[in-house]
Structure 1
């Protein structure tokens, strides 16, 4: 099944936003990548803000599906955290998706249109919620150990992963991400 024009536009917009941010892309950039006219893009997405919002909405839907699938495939909470980190490590190493689009957009929060900013905030709330639930379940099962609340530990974990993405991007070395995230996972494991 081939992707619809709207899907191809969303794919291109997401890739360009990951590379350049919200303020660094235009409909002309997307038209060049997708090989369509700017009016065709406007037909599907009347404004840049609507396009960016829809990119984030779709991204959030995919993340929710991924977490559901992950929970079914990897029942162990520590294994889920390792799989989450491994996903990003692979994306960064192979340069397929070298940065979380919501983390990148969060850096532009003061200048984002409200509808885009709201979706980005909701992404972080959902991610923190999933992490807190996963961390708490790991603590309950005895595979994870931490002295803070699960909510605070989730915020620390999320900030560490996103900070490691940024450090890897700045250094041009994917191993920076791997080193930092390996250590944060090690610190969470129960010491025997």
Structure 2
């Protein structure tokens, strides 16, 4: 997308008065973004990038405008930008566990529905994220979802298309209600 914007601005600069600055503005998740092009004092075309009130370099602009919300680089840079602009307070880093220290395994919730006990177990799926803007190399991340087990074993869950089948416990409960209709108001977690 950014390559197309830059190409269009270059064409406009060549076709019209080269002394006039060319600008492309767009909104990205509530933030005004701006790519501008004008010639420097040597007559060479120079791009400038703005994300909100901040002037940034091309790579930073690409990462900030990335459409992949699960990207940890995008998330970290967005948080840094929010702190820089005063829109958010700095976030303390989570404490790191010492190697070989005990930690919780997957979360597990017991759900009572239709006189049966179902188990929703947290699952992690390794995913490769390819940056659409090519702002960084492909990343391996872990995406969390839920698997559902009943009295006879595995019922549903896993990876469906490009996301976990169940992202939240609420989705598991809606699915259970659809699979086992009863007069009960809602499943309960015990």
TM over 0.5: no
TM value normalised by structure 1: 0.27
TM value normalised by structure 2: 0.27
Higher helix share: 1
Higher strand share: 2
